[in-house]
Structure 1
């Protein structure tokens, strides 16, 4: 167990809001998150937290780091689906697991299943509640990807094929020169980045140390601008939180607003999210991190999934995503390392994952042929998920504290794809 230290109050910049707010441990929100844990784990040790510390840290990310608030709109409450989820099962190597087994094996702390926009199943564990703000980790990348689509629709970004240097001319002469936004958002920039979560000297580990100290924005930008080129742009897929950070930075420069503000104005209020959220900020009121750091309630994670499911349609019928944006976002890139024997169509699009059951998986049920084909998965380390399947009109949200940040695909990621496929079958 890591030593737990009392967290200092974190100042959070809040957009203008007409409703009442409360002081929630230094964060002004319309409703204070619960539970309110008094002792928080040290942010600088995030990659080494034990399971107990991870639960507390993930639901208090909004307090452990400086952040910007995005205010909620007028929400319509979810209703219960006529057909409730019973006890779907899946099997691996001849052993069958129930939903209760799955929750334990995946260290699930929250799960929501929405069928046709209605709640077919909801679970909250480890003391989490409907007012818990859980951190997204890299699920935030998919939120940023969606905001990029909106910025293109609004004309704030000219084209997904624009060069990065159109928006950040100071990057001319660096490894990012000649890279397009499409290559950046698909993680095929060719710029070297070490994402190894277990290596204390990786680029990602250095980023987390920047986050735990003052001057975060300048610290991270120094890392990003100092990177070297490893491959020609567009040829090789290599997952990069550094590239995702830069995608968020480009979006903010194009819109003239921090991510939290742009999210609030385009989706959070117009779509009708129920509660305020907080986005991890590197410069309060100016810059929020594009790689992760989106914090919201379980049901609002689900509402975001429903927004994506709709193709970006607001309650008033207005479409705010470009036509066919989701088709483009899930046109899995065919660059080297994105294509494998298990996923011959590729595994990565516009910061969304293809987590279908591998076509070469053996001794599993549901079988690969019964997998949720065409699903788009927002995935974050330690098991954070928003899965959207438009063919089934199905959204699944999962909060977890996996023992490993990024386990082998044959472990928790495979079992998630099997369970979600079993859920889809039962709810048809």
Structure 2
């Protein structure tokens, strides 16, 4: 775009206002036609009117649809490219999922009920690596980049495993301050990477999505500012330790700590999360479309707690990669042989063990998810349902993986509330069990 010279006021606008408009136009053009520098193929739909990112937690459901499929351009972003590689094939399954039956709270439901109850905007079922069911709603398409929310934590967990196998991270027993010197002198200083990934740091963090005063809410406000990195770093460094709680003793979900997992990985590898994902998995597995990772400092710092944006089938391909234990199509293994087992060895720190999860509910940023023990639901269990592990994000985002069944289920949703009612999680678990049974007949 050619430089614009402003000589006088026009239509009531001051010279300064016009100059600011020109600067904004130049900045927008520098990002390219898709709103992100380096993203050459625009996702579809490409909505013209976008919501304010600072209001993300309070968007209504219709707004959330637009916001979630355009999150990749609501913030600064780093592209992770497939480099035009031939995508990992996802053939159509001969045995398609046509309908299912399940019981929730004593009532019988089918597939249509599930889509409505969960406010589903995208659903993909892969059985034996083949597409058994694929569904898009609310205008989403196969070219839509949908935001992951905390599903990204599980993506980061996988990348940590890759870095460990490559020797870029020496040990999960290393203190995180070894990799992130800014943490020295803070409550995070003596926390190990193992504890950070299991969310047992003992550092206080208010994850309340319904409170304007929670640490998580403050983080979303930081992310909407022009200088998000300094704001997020100051917020995360400032939190205190729970009185009398040592690292490893108490489990407490902590997106501030998850952001630090990403910082450890970036400093250990010398790459952003996007670039490391691109170079190790995205361009080699490979995926069908470029994705975007929410960046706090483009090209330097990405948001490790959330911010992964990709197509529904590429979410599924990532699930297949994990299901394989981290194996590329040519047979090369990118993850340590025991990484998935270690990642899904649930911590039994105080707070992790519940009636629904008697062995613990959280591993290396993967979840154990099962219906509440007193839930009137079916199928509450299957022969292998305890083998299923979950990447979960607020408002219903999901990747469920059951290696024993060779099953991957991906879900995009816009729940009315971030995490409530809890019966929505029960329904997800029951649904995956019902899918498993239906596809095994």
* TM-score, length basis structure 2: 0.91
Mapped to 2, the partners of 1:188 and 1:208 lie a distance apart of: 23
Does the CA-based 8 Å contact 1:87-1:99 persist in structure 2? yes
Which residue does the alignment assign to 1:125? Answer: 137
Which residue of 393, 401, 409 maps to 1:396?
409
The CA RMSD measured in Å over matched residues stands at: 1.6
Show structure 1 runs of 5+ residues with no match. 1-7, 15-21
Alignment of 1:416 onto 2:435? no
Task: Give the Cα separation in 1 of the matches to 2:331 and 2:104.
Answer: 43
Mapping of 1:237-252 within 5 angstroms?
237-252=251-266
Q: Which residue, out of 141, 149, 164, partners 1:152? A: 164
Provide, for residues 9-34 of structure 1, a one-character-per-residue CA deviation record: whole Å limited to 9, x for no partner.
Answer: 776999xxxxxxx7224544242100
Query: Are positions 1:276 and 2:290 aligned together?
Result: yes
Q: Please give the alpha-carbon distance, in whole angstroms, between the structure 1 residues aligned to 2:337 and 2:35.
A: 42
Closer, same or farther in 2 for the Cα pair 1:104/1:333, shift >3 Å? same
Residues in 2 aligned to 1:374 and 1:118: alpha-carbon distance in whole angstroms: 20
Aligned length: 412
Cα-to-partner distance string for 1:118-151 (whole Å, 9 max, x where unaligned): 0000000000000000000000000000000000
Matched with 1:65 is 75
Contact 2:397–2:412 under 8 Å retained in 1: yes
**Aligned partner of residue 239 in structure 2, secondary structure:** coil
Q: Does 1:379 align with 2:392?
A: yes
Q: Which of the two has greater helix per residue?
A: 2
CA distance in 2 between counterparts of 1:105 and 1:389 reads 23
Question: Residues 13 and 308 (structure 1 numbering): CA distance in 2 closer, same or farther, change over 3 Å?
Answer: farther
Superposed CA offset, 1:335-382 (max 9, x none)? 001001121011000000001234x23421113355721111000000
**1:55 aligned to 2:69?**
no
Write the deviation string for residues 25-75 of structure 1: whole angstroms up to 9, x where unpaired: 454424210011100011110000001100000000011111000001321
Q: Which runs of 5+ in 2 are unaligned?
A: 1-23
In structure 1, C-alpha distance between the alignment counterparts of 2:367 and 2:436, rounded to whole Å: 18
Alignment check: 8 A CA contact 2:149 2:307 kept: yes
Q: Secondary structure at the match of 2:121?
A: strand
In the other structure, the counterpart of 1:103 is 115
Write the distance in 2 (CA, Å) between the matches of 1:190 and 1:400: 31
1:137 aligns with 2:149: yes
- Counterpart CA distance in 2 for 1:28 and 1:214 is 20
Alignment check: 8 A CA contact 1:174 1:226 kept: yes
Q: 1:124 & 1:378 partners in 2: Cα distance?
A: 20
TM-score for the superposition, normalised by structure 1: 0.93
Looking at structure 2, the residues matched to 52 and 196 of structure 1 have their Cα atoms a distance apart, in angstroms, of 22
Match of 1:43 among 53, 71, 74: 53
1:171 alignment counterpart:
183
* Structure 1 residues 279-358: aligned runs within 5 Å: 279-358=293-372
How much does 1:263 deviate? 0.4
Contact 2:346 2:359 in 1 (8 A): yes
The superposition leaves residues 221-261 of structure 1 with CA deviations (integer Å, 9 ceiling, x where unpaired) of: 00111111112100000000000001101110000111000
Taking the TM superposition and a 5 Å limit, the aligned residue runs for 1:248-259 are: 248-259=262-273
Aligned to 1:87: 99
Q: Distance in 2 between matches of 1:314 and 1:286?
A: 27
Does the CA-based 8 Å contact 2:72-2:309 persist in structure 1? yes
SS at match of 1:282: strand
